Structure 1
Amino acid sequence: MSMASLAGADGYGTKVKQIAARYGIYIAFAVMFVFLSLWSPWFLTFDNILNILRQCSINGIIAVGATLVIITGGIDLSVGAIVALAAVSASSVAHPDSYPVIVPILVGLAVGALCGGVNGFIIAKGRIAPFIVTLGMMTIVRGASLVMSDGRPVINLSDEYNTIGGGYLWGVPLPVFLFIAVVLIGAFLLHFCKFGRHVYAVGGNELAATVSGLNVGRVKLGVYTLAGLFAGFAGIILSSRVMTGSPAAGAGYELDAIAAVVIGGTSLAGGTGAILGTVIGTLIIGTMNNGLDLLNVSSYFQQIVKGIIIISAVLLDQYTKNSR
């Protein structure tokens, strides 16, 4: 083979790798969507599409916060437990004729932000690995939700509160609009604010960011507080949707959020990622779960498929990095 042919082959291979790195998740989502549309007659219906969007909204809200954390090179395993504590806390003051609906909303958001802030403070000031801190916080917060509720779900919630997660606007579930609002906030903070540039700088090279005068501790405190805030918001939506504040809520949600972020192209090593990619990753997981349910695939196998997808996404990330 001539040198020109080899150069052409290398150029073609490089172009394929670039396309795979930039558009791989979009292509995968499109292929999955078309396959399920052809395989199941119930998939491509208006009600089912709304159902997918409703199911994606809660995981997507948590995933937006997880994106900020992972871009800094961190991880947050406590968000699922924060969902439960926020749900129980908000539901405890959301009974009929007790408080205006704004009160349980503020309580849930405050609980989430406080838990996230404690995570960020310990990680920044104590210089402890985020995995250890958030793992411990996950246990503490889950226990706190059980203590607060005495191990029983909080019921008898007001109609105004239940509307947050169960209401509709123009025929579309209200959680979908709330998800869109959180995505816009996250995208604005990450891509159009100085704070976002600092987040990328910390994840890209923390030492260089520190030497350049950036307050790394403040950035970490900010991203973990936002992650907790969004998890608290997700807890409010979840409890109002099911009309119950359960201390068992949110179990495994942290893994789904991390999966959505990684599938969306955010590197676990930090420094790279985008909110749009996280949205696509969330839709991929939600669509996959819905499609496998329609195809009567056991939930046990669904966990296997989800794990394979996560590992494949990480391998693809490493492959594209090594090939640059």
Structure 2
Amino acid sequence: MSDLTASQAAGSESRGRAFGRFLSRYGILISFLILFVILSFAHPNFLSTGNLTNVLRQVSINGILAIGMTFVILTGGIDLSVGSILAVAGVVAGSLVTGGDPSHPMVAILAAVAVGAAVGTINGTLIARFGVPAFVATLGMLSMARGATLLYSDGRPIPNLSPAFRWLGQGFIAGVPVPVIVFLLVFVVAWIVLRFTVYGRWVYAVGGNVKSARTSGIPTRSVVFSVYLLMGALAGLAGAILTARTTSALPQAGLGYELDAIAAVVIGGTSLTGGIGSVVYTLIGALIIGVISNGLDLMGVSSYYQQIIKGAIIVVAVLVDRSRNLNP
């Protein structure tokens, strides 16, 4: 009888572990589908083509930031400056495509990416070369980049952007918004890099155990430096897209965007301690953030409450991550 009881207990424990693995793997997707269904019934306009297109446009900008943030967090770091980097890159791009003789849109886009990469280079150098904690370095950059944005734009919006540049944020290709196409291209490249390249394995190794990675011959400082450079470049790209979408370069753009990017990553299951995560789940996390924001807007929920809700989501996601680490 005792053997039978022990066998039943072992079988129950095994099923419990299997269910836990199932939830760990597919829980985020199930949550998104449940949320999508609930909002579909909660507001009649949620499933309209115009609204879903708007959701995808919003998700594309945060999604690009979240992909860069995934690389950063996989190494055990954090970047609080992405919103400010987006803003300074956006005003630089906007200044090049306004006036009587605007530059070619591609020049403005490349300039935005270059500005973002330059700021990311500073972050990466401070963190990887001088050992400044990522939180401190990027918090300082958050303020400096925002100040640079206000200085460059004189604190005023830059309007009258060229129609060719605005197409980046408002145009369509085969019925699909251009920002969504850009986001999907970034996602596919990031997925391939993390899944199939040596560099991707290095990123996971550095986040998993930096000392072991260094002992194995991985250039850990270079890897850490590179993820902040990549984050800056993607923030610059997102800044160009946002500027094109809003039809003017706003010096206050990007406020709080770092919160949404971090939320998408941690909701997607990337561990804040590094070494565990995937851009696939970051994509789903970004969709969840976008759908929640859109649904709350449709239902007339104040933006103040939305900030509280997003903050609570981050806290819950971190608690889940901590519980998973303590009880693997």
Residue by residue, what CA displacement relative to the aligned partner does 1:115-161 show, whole Å, maximum 9, x if unpaired? Answer: 00111111111011100000111111110010011111111211111
Q: Note if 1:20 corresponds to 2:23.
A: yes
What is the match of residue 55 of structure 1?
Answer: 58
Q: CA deviation at 1:318?
A: 2.0
Contact 1:17 1:320 in 2 (8 A): no
What is the match of residue 201 of structure 1?
Answer: 205
Q: CA deviation at 1:166?
A: 1.1
Q: CA deviation at 1:171?
A: 2.1
- Bigger shift: 52-61 or 302-311? 302-311
Contact 1:72 1:203 in 2 (8 A): yes
What is the match of residue 64 of structure 1?
Answer: 67
What is the match of residue 298 of structure 2?
Answer: 294
Q: CA deviation at 1:21?
A: 1.0
Distance in 1 (alpha carbons) for counterparts of 2:301 and 2:251: 28
For structure 1, the 5+ residue unaligned runs are: none
For structure 2, the 5+ residue unaligned runs are: none
Q: Note if 1:29 corresponds to 2:32.
A: yes
Distance in 1 (alpha carbons) for counterparts of 2:114 and 2:138: 18
User: Counterpart amino acid of 1:123?
Assistant: I
Q: CA deviation at 1:169?
A: 1.5
Q: TM-score, normalised by structure 2?
A: 0.96
Aligned residue among 83, 87, 90 for 1:87: 90
Q: Note if 1:135 corresponds to 2:139.
A: yes
- Bigger shift: 34-43 or 21-30? 34-43
Distance in 2 (alpha carbons) for counterparts of 1:102 and 1:170: 21
Aligned residue among 137, 151, 157 for 2:161: 157
Q: Note if 1:11 corresponds to 2:50.
A: no
Aligned residue among 44, 47, 56 for 2:47: 44
**SS at structure 2 position matched to 1:214:** coil
What is the match of residue 181 of structure 1?
Answer: 185
User: Counterpart amino acid of 2:172?
Assistant: Y
What is the match of residue 147 of structure 1?
Answer: 151
Matches within 5 A, 1:117-132: 117-132=121-136
Q: Note if 1:305 corresponds to 2:316.
A: no
Matches within 5 A, 1:212-223: 212-223=216-227
Q: CA deviation at 1:322?
A: 2.5
- Bigger shift: 312-321 or 256-265? 312-321
Q: Note if 1:256 corresponds to 2:260.
A: yes
Distance in 1 (alpha carbons) for counterparts of 2:325 and 2:21: 10
Q: Note if 1:76 corresponds to 2:79.
A: yes
Q: TM-score, normalised by structure 1?
A: 0.97
Contact 1:58 1:179 in 2 (8 A): yes
Distance in 2 (alpha carbons) for counterparts of 1:199 and 1:140: 28
Distance in 2 (alpha carbons) for counterparts of 1:312 and 1:39: 24
User: Counterpart amino acid of 1:26?
Assistant: L
Percent pairwise identity: 50
Distance in 1 (alpha carbons) for counterparts of 2:199 and 2:104: 34
Distance in 2 (alpha carbons) for counterparts of 1:105 and 1:39: 39
Distance in 2 (alpha carbons) for counterparts of 1:288 and 1:205: 35
Q: CA deviation at 1:290?
A: 0.8
What is the match of residue 270 of structure 2?
Answer: 266
Q: Note if 1:190 corresponds to 2:206.
A: no
User: Counterpart amino acid of 1:316?
Assistant: V
Residue by residue, what CA displacement relative to the aligned partner does 1:40-85 show, whole Å, maximum 9, x if unpaired? Answer: 1111122211111011010000111000000000000011000000
Q: CA deviation at 1:298?
A: 2.0
User: Counterpart amino acid of 2:266?
Assistant: V
| Aligned residues: CA RMSD | 1.2
**SS at structure 1 position matched to 2:35:** helix
Contact 1:71 1:271 in 2 (8 A): yes
Distance in 1 (alpha carbons) for counterparts of 2:181 and 2:235: 16
**How many pairs were matched up?**
324
Aligned residue among 273, 279, 286 for 1:282: 286
Contact 1:263 1:310 in 2 (8 A): yes
**SS at structure 2 position matched to 1:213:** coil
Distance in 1 (alpha carbons) for counterparts of 2:210 and 2:179: 36
What is the match of residue 112 of structure 2?
Answer: 108
